[in-house]
Amino acid sequence: GGEQPATLPPSAATPKTSSSSFPVLEGGAAGLCSPLPSTDLLPGVGLKFPGWKAAVGSALHRPPRRVAGILQSTKKLFLSERAGWGQTLEFIRKNAANGLSVANLVAGLSSVLCSLNRQYHHSCWLLLVGFLLDLADGAVARQLDACSALGAKLDDFADFTTFGLATALLLQPQGVLDGLLAIAYVLAVFARLCFFSSAGIPFTYRGLPCPYASSLLAGTFLLTGGNITLLRVTAIVMILFMVDRGFYPHDKVLESQLWKKLVYAGGVAAVLFSPVAVASIYCLAWSTSYIIFPFAIWSCKANSGLVSPLGPTGD
């Protein structure tokens, strides 16, 4: 009755097991565990599982699947964001000039609405804004190497809307003759865009570019307070200049001499920030100088080395 039960040595004690059939290895890392036995028998279980040692060893050295998944997802997200930024920048590069053409089109349509509501001063201001946008879209397209057939068609459509339809409404047609004059002006712009745009000579146009005719009419309206007689006479003269098929230089204001860029910057400041009288005088002087002295002042031959079709002229 007084005998003490024999105790088993520690080496013979039953190993700790988890809820699964595998023993729990104390120490938490492969370097702190005791060497795995060379037998295929699971300790404390007595079942034979070939290759269990390799499976346990690789599990100890393998990173958790959740961590690996997070790292892979982060890498994919980073790469997709870089690709998205690259595609966005490429889209902006290809469509920056088209955006300016669309802005010109919106300005023209807004000018039409203003004229229909007899808000002619607002209509003239929008025409001058369209004039500046039209000079910028071609330069942006060439600088970004984004010239395209779509851009050319969009530019022509915007020019027809702004410098054709919207400008003709400044004549305020109320009778048959007035209506015919407005229709003649629109057809002159249409013919200028369709048939006389290119003279077959680099950096040269046939016929007066319609943006300058529109700028001249808008400036005249603002400066004279809407003198209809003077506007109609000016419109007739502009029609003759547009269908005359005379030579006019592609001035390339934003791609030429520094003083031309300063003239453009002055036009932006005058139209956006100056009183109406200052803006009208500035645009009138700009357009008139191009119409009367096209090659003497606005020729781009100083940049391209080309001689104008009318012969050598000095800047």
User: What φ, ψ does residue 242 adopt, rounded to 5°?
Assistant: -70, -35
- Domain ranges, residue 225: 93-304
Number of H helices, E strands in the chain: 12, 2
Q: What are the start-end ranges of the H helices in 117-273?
A: 120-143, 149-159, 167-168, 176-194, 210-224, 228-243, 258-273
Asked whether residue 60 is domain-assigned, the answer is no
Asked whether residue 3 is domain-assigned, the answer is no
Instruction: Give exposure, 185-221, as e/b (b: 16+ Cβ within 10 Å).
Output: bbebbbebbeebeebeeebbbbbbbbbbbbbbbbbbb
Per-residue pLDDT reduced to its tens digit, 147-166: 888 888 899 999 999 999 99
Beta bridge partners of 48: 41
Asked whether residue 80 is domain-assigned, the answer is no
Mean pLDDT within 296-303? 69
Per-residue pLDDT reduced to its tens digit, 74-128: 666 555 656 667 777 777 888 888 899 999 999 999 999 999 999 999 999 999 9
How far is C-alpha 142 from the geometric centre of its chain's CA atoms? 13
DSSP 31: G
314 vs 261, which has greater pLDDT? 261
User: Using CA atoms, how far apart are residues 236 and 247, in angstroms rounded to an integer?
Assistant: 19
Give me the pLDDT at residue 262, please: 94
Residue 192 amino acid letter:
R
87: burial class by Cβ within 10 Å (0-12, 13-18, 19+)?
exposed
Per-residue pLDDT reduced to its tens digit, 244-270: 878 888 877 888 889 999 999 999 999
Asked whether residue 47 is domain-assigned, the answer is no
State the average pLDDT for the chain: 77
CATH assignment of the domain containing 231: 1.20.120
Q: Which two tokens stand for residue 46?
A: 């007595």
Whether the CB-CB separation of 12 and 39 falls below 8 Å is answered with: no
Give me the pLDDT at residue 70, please: 65
Asked whether residue 216 is domain-assigned, the answer is yes
* pTM of the complete model: 0.69
Task: Look at residue 3 and tell me whether its pLDDT is greater than 60.
Answer: no
How far is C-alpha 46 from the geometric centre of its chain's CA atoms? 74
Q: How many domains does the chain have?
A: 1
Asked whether residue 122 is domain-assigned, the answer is yes
Per-residue pLDDT reduced to its tens digit, 115-150: 999 999 999 999 999 999 999 988 888 888 878 888
Asked whether residue 193 is domain-assigned, the answer is yes
Asked whether residue 150 is domain-assigned, the answer is yes
